[in-house]
Every structure is written in structure tokens, then in C-alpha cells.
Structure 1
């Protein structure tokens, strides 16, 4: 009874502000982001002198809209929810495109039927341009595919979650470096799911040899060690080739304007930040380089090298460029690149020193180390700490390099940012495919065209001494023999047709190749070899000799295959280490580490299949 009169004459409890309660109700609908959203709302109210509550509400509403991809909430990362939404959207598109699938409407009318649904998801296409380029039909087919919607949902969700986390101040040096905690956990989960899938997927070639997909991935550039090693081999080879040509080595760093950076160096919020995402910043750098490259091409400036995209602590990308430039073009090249880098907001404080840096790599002997100055040494640490952190103790911010490498790979994957790119030089695909021929027996290699046979033998000889020397030689080979590119052919299957003999009336069967198409009505192609376009002739050389197909296997059978292949791989690695030790000791050793199995090209597009795949007889060409 006394409790009813306890507050009589006392101070009444303070009523909580209405808009604060409404903001809390709104934020509670996003459990993973509830506290960050409220902290951000209160910050805007506190730091805004006029109409703070209104601006805080407007900002909260704008962030809420980023959580929606159509009618899907991107913070709902459960695979079942993603699959259910993808299924519903694909079925909706099937109904909208039923008339086109039955041949009753044209492609333009079909595009108009689904335009509203696609636009509702923030996906905008130039339908007329796609129709003109004959790309509209495959796109309409993709709209009806659940797998396409699943990939799109996951890609959009990953980029938006990273952008929202960064916007709310949870991606920076003080809170979570390079990427969000949610993104890091999701990346780890997806990576483990993919690894499990690969370990239980068995492939068999025409010889009856079986491998798991994980075994084949371990022999390709998907293996971080192979990826890092190949990049360093090509960089060191570029340096050796540049010295032969008399080119100068330059190291450039390009950074985005301050409005692209969410946080200051030590984690505080940047007041100049305009809400740009990590992808926006990468697109800015890509556009800058595209415009500069066009100018360099017009002026015929000669250069080649590598580009590395690396994140600042808040996820904003910046670029490192290691380029080898002709001495006559170097100063003009560097000056023009600086002007392009400072064209946008170039007069803001500190821009001249922070936004662009150019350093000419010294030549001769370093008096401190007693070794020759190396261009590859300038970029080696950026390569390593962006892949696995090997041979690097700490990153730029004092964090453990190996832990940071995981975060950097997560950052690149979730934001769709390409970390490494070769600029100029020959096709790396042709390099890999040419080295693949080194596995052929002597009899099979002798049947190759003389030019290719000599090239393979020279590559294998040089690789015994140094893989970098082999890449430098390949650069010369490519220059001397014109364009070298991937040779792709259309996949076909045998089709049996019935024909009738007009004279006898007898019906007989004929077999002819039939082009294969995928689910999107596009011709299927496969890598087949390399094409060398010389001055007087063009060579087509087959480098792919195996055909693979997925075979059914129980988890126990897949595990046994994986275990056997792992033991074989470890045995080969031990033998290769022994050969290297013997070679370093001065022994005469045969053989060389096997080249990566991958045929992926990261800088050159495919080519059309030749009219006549069989190469004509070749003349013997001497290779220096």
C-alpha cells in the first residue's frame, strides 16, 4: 500500500524522448546492427547544431534502405532464406517471360515485362544496347535461373554489409581493420563450405585417373603459395627484361581523395567523408587509370609492369604500381599520371604529398646491404601481405601480417576488388600453356611445330636456372613472334542423323558434330591451346589433352582419393626440394618444378577458333 504513495511529493521519473524511442524501435529490427545504428543516430543528433533529430532520422532511413535488395533483407545470410527468395524471383520471371519463351513476344517486349522487377532490385540495364550486341537473350535467360539470383543476392549483400559497417564506423583501425566482423565470419563460413564441397567432388579424366576438386585446386593458382610465387617470378622476370631493354623502374602510389575515406588514420570519423563505398573508391581508381592509359596510348609511351590494389585500414583501396618505362617517356609519363591523380580535389590540404607518390628505383649496389637495388623488392611485401603474409612480420599498421592477409583477402572478395593485375607484357595464359607442353614425352614434343618445340625446350632449360629468367625470355619470344593468345574452341557433341539414299531409298545414319550451349543459350567453349600469330604464319598448338567429368563417389571414397593425392603431392614436393638443394650445391640436376595447372588468364580475352585447327607444316625458326 505504501508503494502507491512512494512518489508523492517526489520527483517524477523523466520521460524518455519520443524520437529516441522511435529510433530504438527501428534499430531493434536489425539485430546485428542495432547498437551501431543507435550510436550513429545519437552521434548525428549530438554533432548537428540545427535540426539534429530530423537529420539523424533521415540518415537512419537512408541506411535502412541499403538493407533491402528488392524485398530481401541482406543481413539475412541464412542459405535457406537466400535460396527461397532466389526461387521465388526466378519463378516470377518465368511467368513474366512465358510469352517470349513460347515465341509469342519479341525480346524487347520481354525486357519491358521484367524491367519493373529488375529495377526494383536496383539493377539497371540498357536494354537497347544489349539487344544490339545480341546479349539480351542470355540475360533474360539468367533472370529465370535460381543460381543466378543466388549469386546476385550474395554479391550485393556482401558489398552492402561492408559498406554499411564502414559507414557506421566499424571498419577502421580502432574497431575492425580492413573488413567488418560480420564479413569476416561469413567469408570464413563460405570458404569452409566451398572446401568441403571440393573435397567431396571427384573428377575423372579419359585415362581413368581420379582427383578431387580440392586436389586440382591445390595445383593451381588457387593455392596461395603458387599464386604468390608466380607473381614474384613474373615481376622479377619483368625486371630482368626491362634491364635488357634499358627501361627505368618506377614505383607509384595513388590514393583516393579524402571524401572517399571513412576514417582518419587512427580511427576517428572523417568529416569530409561523403558516403562512398569501397567499390566506389575502386571504380574511381579504375576510371582514373583508364583515362590515363588512353593518353599514354595516344602518346605511345612505352611501359609494362604490375598493379596491386591494397586497402587502407578503413577499407578504402589505394594502388601501388611497379612500372618499367622507356627513359625517353619516363618523366612525361610520371608527370601526366600525377596530373590525372590530382585532377579531382587536387587542391585540398595535403593532396600534393599524400594523394600521389612517384619514386624512381635506384640502380647499382645498395651500400647498406651490399646487394643490387631490386624493383621486385619494392613490391614483394605488398604481394605477400595481400595473399598470405609469408615473409612479412607486420603490416603498415603494426598488425600481424598473416592475420592481416586473411582480412585483406576477405576485403577483396566481399567488395569484388581485383588485387593484382599485369599491365602490358605478353599473355600469361600463353606462358602457362607453353610450360604445360613441358610435361610431354620426348616423342610427343618432337611432333610439335619446330618453333613451339624450340620454345618449350628453351623454357625448360632456363627454368632449371631461374623461373624469372624463363619469363624474361618468354617476353622476348612474344615480342619477336607477334601476338600469343589463348586458343579456344566451341564444345561439340556427336549427333546422329538419318539420311535417305535417293537412288535406292535406303535409310542410313550419319554422325556429325553438334555445338553445345549452356542454360543461357550461349555457345560453350573450352580452352584448347595457344595461338601464335607470326609475321608470315599462324600456329595453333593444342595444350589441353585431358577431358574431365564429375563421377559419383561416397564421402569415404572421396576422402581416400584425396588422401592418396595429397601423399603423392607431398612426395613430389620433397623430391623437388631435394633437387633444388642438389642444384644449389652445384650438382647437375634434371627436371624442374611443375608449372601451375591453371589456364586462367588475368589480362587477355579469348580468341575465335580458327577455321582450320590443324596447323600447316612449319619452317624451322632459330630462337635466340
Structure 2
């Protein structure tokens, strides 16, 4: 227990931690006469020696003197410990200071100090500060990869031993390979590829960025920063760091070229391609609304009911309750946002298994978004047959309330189900949640904070990326990859095409109907053409084909080429679609990427050679024109000379020429 002690003689004050202890004299089972024993000196008695013979002979004496009187009393300021805890955390130190002051006002100094110190320890728990800049992360990644590479190079070519050492090495930095990835590589005999990854600075850079971002967000929740009246949804530090990463990514995309291997003149920057794909928030939002609208139109045609659900995790997952740190959250070991998300996904998976056993089908969408303190909750928009509605609601509620059903507020907040009027738009119920989790467009003000829609969306998207949470999931729909691949095909599938000669007229019409629905952006027609919403993806008439290019496969089989720089086989990429054992090609170009400056420099070099060649031709023609002009001058001169000689040696001709040039005749 700390107490403030004042020295009356000097006037100095100091906080001292008084800890109850037992001595030889105070312990109940030891008598006073047993306190002085061999090896102890009673300094309460006078005439004790000024030195002690430690070795028992005169040649080695160590003289011990009592110099305690030279020690001057010191006073440690309570702020020194706070400054030490804040040191080395860059911009995050200001947030830690704010948290310390807020906790100090509500509680006491030692609670505030211990909270800040615990957060500082979390930020340094892996041997490096999680608040370091991106340049520092790159330097650390290079250092870690180089150190590991040197260690591995000195080891024998034993893959298992090398991998065991790599796992041990990664653990000191708080990193590890996923268990499923290790099992897969072990099964395929490609465990060495994981060792190669751990020796790559780029791999280290990605892992450290994720780890640092997550640690900072966890520390921010520990410091009670993430809540409504402070930093809603996620920490300001994470938002600013994400902005920097987005700017850096945008520059990288603008400086990288994707070009057609067969036609290098056909090239785009990755930034241009990103703007044309679902990576663009506007296109992503438009595609999701298109699919939801298609679901709604299909449900009305089938006369299905629609229900909007909200499911929240138990109290122990919430870091803040009524503006104060939640004691249940502390008692549970401070679960993370990812822990709460996993809990909600287990509830949903149990619910789906239950209704599948009863052959009850639902289709719709799931959206994960954060509470003000960063704890996730899930929204669901489900369409179903009217006779299944009551069972779906009761079954979903049963699984949502299995955990801690009697805690305060559970019945009110943990599960909500709202039947949507058929005269109203079901998409309208989820539209604001969809937009808030993408780019915040068409939202004037966020009702859970004082932010506008765009600002709230930025924080929500940052929250999802930092905590590695999947925001959206469509349920019960045909695979969207088939939809996207068919939208790449603009021309009609003609029956006389050699690719479709094995298809009957009915099968060709079915394939063309799927293509037309995708091309026109009609999700309802696409679902119908793909067999309906009750069909499993494995039973769909069209499925995506993933493959490695044939030339790569041959090189891999021959042992002359490894598909990735780490030595393992390349991940298969989309090459087309399969319909009734007929392959439908959707990708006809082979794209490669190159740095923009390098690509344009190479192009200019090629064109420079062409220009030089044309310049040479031009100069050659110019010289020819100059030669022809000089030659013509020479011919004119020779003609003049011949005429002059003729006039000089033929007087008659001279006179005739002279007389013809005169206007008056001479006298006769």
C-alpha cells in the first residue's frame, strides 16, 4: 500500500510502498534469542569491527565501511513514471496522456498509472514498438529477414529443423503461420516454402503492419479511448495510419503498369484498373445494391416474407458500458473485437445448421458493423417462405440467447427481429448500413456519433481492416464470381461456335440466358437462370474454373520452374467457366505488371530507336537533295561554258546571237 511520507527534518516528501513482511524477530514461531545466528551481525551493539575477514587469512582483506551517511534523500516525482510510460510511442503518446488524465479524474493516480503502463507494455510486448512509423516497419522487416536468413544458411538442409527454428524465431515477434497453412504445406511437401517466406522482407513487412495495427487498437480499447464521446468505432491513431497507407497504396497503383503480354501497347495503370473494379467503393456499393434489389424482386415474385435481424454479443465482449470500462469485460480477460465477431459467427453457423436439417432455406445478406466501443454486432436481411418465418425467428433467437440469457439487458438488446411490410422496400432497411460500411454516401449524419456519413464510414472501414473482420456476406445466392466473369463477355454465345457444338439447342439457350442476365445487370433473372436460390453452388449449371497456365504446368512438371518465388506451386487463377462439360473461356489476355517508369522508359527506348532510324533516313534524303541540287548547278555551269566557247570560236554564230538580242539594226 502506497503512502505519502514526509521527512520532518528536510521537508522532502516521497511515495513509499509499505509491504507487510515477517522477520526473524517478528515471526511467531521464532524466539528472540534465535534471531542472532551464524552469518548475521547485530549492528545494534557497539564495538563491532570495521571490516570482516572473508577469506580467513591476512593476504586478502576486503574492508567494508558504512557510508550510508553520504546518501542524500531523493524525491521521485509521480510524473516521472507517467513520462516513462508515454515515451517512445510517437503520436499515440498524446492519446495515452489523455487517457491517463481522464482515468485520474474518475478514479485515482495509481489506477491511471497502472492502466497507461499496461498499455505501454502491450505496445512493446513483442520487442518492438507497435506505434512505429511505416519506414521503421520496413527497416525492422529487412533486419528480421536478414537475421533469419543468416541463421538458416548455417543450418543443415533439414526442412523440419529449419521450420522449427523459423517458428521459434517468429514467436519472439508475436508472429506465426496459420495452422491450416502449415498442415497444407506439410501434406504437399512444400514446408520449405514457408521457410522461404519467413526470409523475405516483403512478407515480414505485411505481417508487421497487421500486427502493429492490431496491437495499437487493442491498447486503445484498454485505455478506454474507443467510445462514443472520445474516439468512436476505432482509435484516431488507426484512422490516421490507414490514411497514410491508402495514400501510399494509391501512389503505388499509379506507378505500376499492367500490360498485355501479346500487345504491350495495350496497358493501364493499376490505379485505372482499380477504379473499374469492385475495389472502387462506388462500384462495390452499386453491385451490392443490384444484388439486394434482385433478391427483393425475386421474393416479391415468389411471395416470400422478409425479416430484418440484429444480433449482439453478451456483455463480457463490450469494453465500455455507460461511459465506464466494463468490469465484466475485464473479468473475461478483455476479449478483442475479433473474439466477439467469432462468437457471433458461431451463433450464425449453429442457426444455419439447424434450419438446414429442417430443409428451411433463407437467402439475403449479413453485415458486420461496430458499436461505439468497437464491439461488433451483426445485421441480417433474410427472405424466406411465409410458413418458415416463425420457425426461423424462434430458432435464431434460441441460439442468440444460449449464452448468458439472464444477464441484465439481454432480452432487450441481444436479439431483435423486425418483419418488413411487403408494401415497403426491404432494401431500404439495410441501405444505410450498407452505405455506412463502404463510403458513407447518401448519409447526412451518423445517428450513433456526431460524424457525417463519410467520416463515419472511414472509421468503420478502418475498424474492419485493423481487426481483420469480414463486413459483408451474401447468403443463399448463386456464386457472384460467375456473374462477374460473364459480364466480361459482351458478345452473344452463338450456337454455331465451335466451342458449343456439343450443346443442344435447349442447353445453348440456357447458357445464353445466364449470360444475358449478367450482362444486363439483372440479378433476379441471373438467380432464376442459375437454378434458383435453393440450389447449392456445387449443383449450379455454371461454375468457375481455376487453373494454372499450361506452359507453367509443363515447366513445373519438368522441374525447370517453380511457380512462386518461395518455391511452392502458384495458386490457380480463374481461366473461365464450365457448363455441361463445356469450357467457356472468359479470359483471353495474359497480363503482366511492371513499374511505370521502367515500362515507359523501355517503350521510349524502343521508340527512340525507331525515331533514330527515321532520322537517319531523313538525313539521307536531305543529303540526296543537296547532291542533286549541286549536280544541277554543275550541269547549268557546263552548259553555259559550252555556249561561251561556241560564241568565241564561231563569229557568225556570235553575231547572230548578238543581233538577235538588239532592238536597233546597225548602219549598213
If the TM-score is normalised by the length of the shorter chain, which range does it land in?
Answer: 0.7 to 0.9
Stretches of structure 2 lacking an aligned partner (at least 5 in a row):
1-7, 15-74, 605-668
Residues 370-385 of structure 1: matches in 2 within 5 Å? 372-385=423-436
Cα distance in 1, alignment partners of residues 400 and 486 from structure 2:
38
- 1:139 maps to which of 194, 216, 223: 194
**Which residue matches 1:217?**
274
Deviation at 1:228, TM superposition (A): 0.5
2:302 paired with 1:302: no
- 1:549 and 2:584 equivalent? no
- Match for 2:373 among 305, 314, 317? 314
Question: 1:475/1:263 Cα in 2 relative to 1: closer, same or farther (>3 Å)?
Answer: farther
The higher-RCO structure (CA 8 Å, 6+ apart) is 1
- Which residue pairs with 1:115 in the alignment? 167
In structure 2, how many angstroms separate the alpha carbons of the residues matched to 1:452 and 1:215?
Answer: 37
Instruction: Identify which of 298, 314, 323 aligns with 1:257.
Output: 314
> 2-side partners of 1:339 and 1:494: how far apart?
52
Give the TM-score normalised by the residue count of structure 1.
0.74
Q: Does 1:523 align with 2:569?
A: yes
- Relative distance call for 1:248 and 1:197 in structure 2 (3 A) is same
Q: Distance in 1 between matches of 2:200 and 2:507?
A: 43
Query: The residue matched to 1:476 in structure 2 has which SS?
Result: coil
Q: 1:464 to 1:40 in 2, by over 3 A?
A: closer
- Asked whether the equivalents of residues 253 and 321 of structure 1 are also in contact (C-alpha less than 8 Å), the reply is yes
Paired residue for 2:83, among 24, 42, 49?
24
User: Are the aligned partners of 1:490 and 1:515 in contact in 2 as well (CA < 8 Å)?
Assistant: no
Cα distance in 2 for residues equivalent to 1:460 and 1:349: 53
Q: Tell me the distance in 1 between the aligned counterparts of 2:588 and 2:519.
A: 25
Change (3 A) 1:389 1:34: closer
Counterpart CA distance in 2 for 1:420 and 1:431 is 17
In structure 2, distance between residues paired with 1:445 and 1:406:
51
Q: Which runs of 4+ in 1 moved over 6 A?
A: 42-49, 441-445, 463-466, 494-497, 511-515
Indicate conservation of the 8 Å contact 2:90/2:132, yes or no.
no
Aligned position for 1:404: 456
Cα deviation, residue 408, structure 1:
1.6
Distance (whole Å) between structure 2 residues aligned to residue 434 and residue 440 of structure 1: 10
Give 1:388's match in structure 2, choosing from 430, 439, 443.
Answer: 439
Structure 1 residue aligned with 2:486: 434
Which one of the candidate residues 316, 320, 329 is aligned to 1:273? 329
Distance 2:183 2:343 in 1: 24
SS of the equivalent of 1:436 reads coil
Correspondence for 2:259: 204
| Cα distance in 1 for residues equivalent to 2:153 and 2:352 | 45
SS of residue paired to 1:554: helix
TM-aligned CA distance change 1:327 to 1:539, over 3 Å: farther
Q: Distance in 2 between matches of 1:43 and 1:174?
A: 12
Q: 1-side partners of 2:274 and 2:193: how far apart?
A: 29
Question: What pairs with 1:221-260 in structure 2 (closer than 5 Å)?
Answer: 221-260=278-317
Q: How many residues align?
A: 518
CA spacing shift, 1:204–1:456, aligned 2, 3 Å:
farther
Asked if 1:488 corresponds to 2:546, the answer is yes
Distance 1:453 1:99 in 2: 62
Change (3 A) 1:325 1:175: same
Does the 8 Å contact 1:40/1:168 carry over to 2? yes
Give TM-score, length-normalised by structure 2: 0.69
- Asked if structure 2 preserves the Cα contact closer than 8 Å seen for 1:248 and 1:324, the reply is yes
Shift of 1:39: 5.4
537-546 vs 242-251, which deviates more?
A: 242-251
Cα offsets for 1:372-409 (capped at 9, x unmatched) = 32221211111112112222222222531122112222
Distance apart, 1:202 and its partner CA: 1.6
Query: C-alpha offsets along residues 63-117 of structure 1, whole Å, 9 cap, x if unaligned?
Result: 22321363221100232x21221122222332443477x6x32x43223222322
- Following TM superposition, by how much is the alpha carbon of 1:465 offset from its aligned partner in structure 2, in angstroms? 7.4
Secondary structure of 1:97's partner? Answer: helix
What is the deviation of 1:428? 0.4
SS in 2 for 1:74: coil
